[in-house]
Structure 1
Amino acid sequence: MTSSDAAYFEKLQSALNAAGIAQPTLVIDRARLDANIETFKGHLPDGMGYRIVAKSLPSLPLLQHIREKTSTDRLMTFNLEMLIEIARAMPDVNQLLGKPMPVAAARAFYRDAPPDAKVQWLIDTPERLDQYLDLAAELSVHLDIVFEIDVGLHRGGFPADDALGQAWQKLEASNRASFTGLMGYEPHIAKMPEKHGLRDKARTHAREAYESAKSLTRCTETLENGQFLTFNTAGSPTYRLYTDTSMANEVSAGSVLVKPTDFDTDLLEDHLPASFIAAPALKVLDGINVAGFDFLEGREPEMPEGHSKTIYTFGGNWMAKPVWPEGILVNEKYGRSSNQQMLTAPEDVPLRPDDFIFFRPTQSEAVFLQFGDIAVFENGKIVESWPVFKASA
């Protein structure tokens, strides 16, 4: 831990104390968030559109802040609750589904959502296309359809073969729906080692599959009404790989703007951690005391070298890693608890009961929904509370 780290977390703790916060809380540092937005924008090539991933930034005020900073009206949404809430709160946005949904969800959307909501439905199979076309006829609505294509992740979607071409032909023949683009997600590329050229091979395969899909759907850049087709790709792990718009004309990203630990990669090293879980330390005890060892004479629980304090936090068992005070570790041998999580620490850790322990989430999409309103930290103070969406898959 550097002196700057210590100073940062001391300011964060003082801000939480001043705000009267005394329970586990998700904190976003707005200055770091804004710096990440500028870094992100600086890496986008000319002409590349940006679609905000709502599941990774699951708060209307947070999404609105990012929209203002990036001047985008495109969102990617992953469940019915968010789809409807965003349509009501932001009627001007265009929402692309990030995963195909059962046709019953689309039926519920058209029952409950504003009639002028702009949605592109994601279709991954011929069978789902038939279901959505039947729904359009049943409800007398017109659907915008984007085909999910498999560019190497192998998680479903159309392969670039005759089935895709036939689905496109059926869509073109319909007077109830329009083809509005393609979506090919490829997070596997960032996980490929560069050894033996595996990452380059995966990138080449993804590009070739995408171009083949464009050919099979006879894509041109614009529709008859002058709107651009959607050629969507990437996510936070891979957006840096796109230096031009020859394959795709928009990238999706969300988590990189708050940078959980899963995004500590070589491609994203110039982004800053901007989200933390602050949890009070309820108990700080000398010694490592684990139930059962009282009866084992001469036996002590195995602990990291130098650890001689036991800490129990308010809550726990989050997808997160402790980062401050330095040296604190989750005691995996003792087991995790959602009520009082046991941590261990070196003797010299200056922690007292009710002090905060800070964790970094490993991801944002599930973790951000577990703490109620987000505490927004700026200029040494908690300046706002941002409500989050209802928890949903």
Structure 2
Amino acid sequence: MKRRELLIAMATLAASGWLLRPSNQGQPHGDYFQTINDYLRRAGPGRPLMLIDRQRLAANCKTLMSMMPRHCQLRIVAKSLPSVPLIQEVMTHTGSRRIMVFHQPFMNALADAEPGCDMLLGKPMPIRAARRFYSELSHNEQSHPSPFKPDQQLQWLIDSSSRLEQYLSLAREQQRHLNINIEIDVGLHRGGLTDPQQLDAMIALIEAHPEQLRFSGFMGHDAHVGRLPSFVQSAEEGHRETEALYQQYIHRLYHLNPTYRKQDLCFNGAGSPTLALYDDSTVVNELSAGSCLVKASDFDLPLLQRFQPAAFIAAPVIKQLNGLALPGPLPLGELWQSWDTNRRQSYFIWVYGFNG
């Protein structure tokens, strides 16, 4: 390439970069955040905290219940609302006492605070953690008997025959009757049964030990739906595929034992990102949701546009500096702020961390 052509190419590149520089995004807080900011500056604790807008939370609960298919119950996902008082508030607004739990200490805390709740594990729990749940429950009952009855109010999630064998041993050891909910793979491919015929041996084992085990339903999580580019598979297509897979397991169950048709079983599905895809034709009878009620930025999705953000992280600003000073001998900060006007002020906030 000739020198003249090289200079022209470099000039063109520089001009293109200048034209593509970010526009000025700086602006004052809107009324909503200005009110929050003023309050925290006046009466806040002076440290980072998580804020929950309780009015928005209540409105989101109302929106969620208006979207539920007529034959479906709501199961509140505790992982998305990891606070017993927050769970209790959502229970009040939705009327649901069904909770999906993921963490043994939280299970014991919830059983103590809300003994009338119904728990379903959202992931298979290691047998040692399950044993610890019963141990802490029994220990607490020595000082104050709990109305929570795990034999009726708790479903353990089982993803394989080997884990089912472990829980059968636990039931014998604890002299408990365990409700077994079987995880099925409806396309997410992160665990659970992958073929309806895998049900045969598991149902046979459960039915062979009626004093220790009871089949209580299925759980099929569909977090993959809507995550692929639309030209590969639309959310609607992914949902139809998930429903068809779920139906295969139900058909296989009824083929193995038709009496299950008459039992009150839990067919759990969904999750906040896919909740809006379910209607009265769905094969499940229970939908899980939690994140849509607080709607963190990861859940700012088209299918959740009816919900309002209700959870925010607030941190005090420690200091403000003019410009962008970066470490090192090169004036990279000056170049960056010349190109991007949004880098002309630096704010340092207080966050919890460790510099070791």
TM-score, normalised by the number of residues in structure 2: 0.82
Deviation at 1:311, TM superposition (A): 1.1
* Aligned residue among 194, 219, 229 for 1:159: 194
1:85 aligns with 2:119: no
Match of 2:6 in 1: none
* Aligned residue among 144, 150, 155 for 2:185: 150
Match of 2:215 in 1: 179
SS at structure 2 position matched to 1:189: coil
Any conservation in 1 of the 2:206–2:213 contact (CA below 8 Å)? yes
1:124 aligns with 2:124: no
1:32 aligns with 2:88: no
* Structure showing the higher helix proportion among its residues: 2
* 2:168 counterpart letter in structure 1: L
* 1:287 counterpart letter in structure 2: G
Match of 1:103 in 2: 127
SS at structure 1 position matched to 2:96: coil
Deviation at 1:186, TM superposition (A): 0.5
Rg larger in structure: 2
Deviation at 1:20, TM superposition (A): 3.6
Match of 2:239 in 1: 203
What percentage of residue pairs aligned between the two structures are identical? 38
Deviation at 1:202, TM superposition (A): 2.2
1:8 aligns with 2:43: no
For the structure 1 residues 96 and 245, does the alpha-carbon distance in structure 2 shift closer, same or farther, using more than 3 Å as the test?
A: farther
Any conservation in 1 of the 2:326–2:333 contact (CA below 8 Å)? no
Deviation at 1:300, TM superposition (A): 3.4
Question: Can you list the C-alpha shifts for 1:268-314, whole angstroms capped at 9, x where unaligned?
Answer: 0111111111111101011111222xx33798353461121111111
Deviation at 1:195, TM superposition (A): 2.3
Question: Can you list the C-alpha shifts for 1:334-354, whole angstroms capped at 9, x where unaligned?
Answer: xxxx369xxxxxxxxxxxxxx
Match of 1:134 in 2: 169
Any conservation in 1 of the 2:323–2:334 contact (CA below 8 Å)? no
TM-score, normalised by the number of residues in structure 1: 0.75
Any conservation in 1 of the 2:296–2:309 contact (CA below 8 Å)? yes
Deviation at 1:3, TM superposition (A): 9.4
Match of 1:325 in 2: none
Any conservation in 2 of the 1:50–1:251 contact (CA below 8 Å)? yes
Gaps of 5+ in 1: 317-337, 341-393
Measured in 1, the distance between the counterparts of 2:284 and 2:55 equals: 30
- Number of residue equivalences: 313
Any conservation in 2 of the 1:78–1:99 contact (CA below 8 Å)? yes
Measured in 2, the distance between the counterparts of 1:297 and 1:131 equals: 62
Measured in 2, the distance between the counterparts of 1:71 and 1:299 equals: 54
Any conservation in 2 of the 1:47–1:245 contact (CA below 8 Å)? no
Deviation at 1:154, TM superposition (A): 0.5
Question: Can you list the C-alpha shifts for 1:215-235, whole angstroms capped at 9, x where unaligned?
Answer: 222274542xxxx21000010
SS at structure 2 position matched to 1:82: helix
SS at structure 2 position matched to 1:146: strand
Match of 2:45 in 1: 21
Match of 1:296 in 2: 330
* Aligned residue among 240, 244, 266 for 2:276: 240
Deviation at 1:9, TM superposition (A): 1.1
Match of 1:49 in 2: 73
Any conservation in 2 of the 1:160–1:216 contact (CA below 8 Å)? no
* 1:190 counterpart letter in structure 2: G
* 1:302 counterpart letter in structure 2: W
Gaps of 5+ in 2: 1-24, 138-145
* 1:229 counterpart letter in structure 2: L
For the structure 1 residues 25 and 74, does the alpha-carbon distance in structure 2 shift closer, same or farther, using more than 3 Å as the test?
A: same
Measured in 1, the distance between the counterparts of 2:214 and 2:316 equals: 53
SS at structure 2 position matched to 1:270: coil
* Structure showing the higher strand proportion among its residues: 1
Deviation at 1:103, TM superposition (A): 1.1
Measured in 1, the distance between the counterparts of 2:304 and 2:47 equals: 31
Q: Report the aligned-residue RMSD.
A: 2.2
Any conservation in 2 of the 1:194–1:200 contact (CA below 8 Å)? no
For the structure 1 residues 23 and 106, does the alpha-carbon distance in structure 2 shift closer, same or farther, using more than 3 Å as the test?
A: same
* Aligned residue among 296, 316, 319 for 1:280: 316
For the structure 1 residues 248 and 5, does the alpha-carbon distance in structure 2 shift closer, same or farther, using more than 3 Å as the test?
A: farther
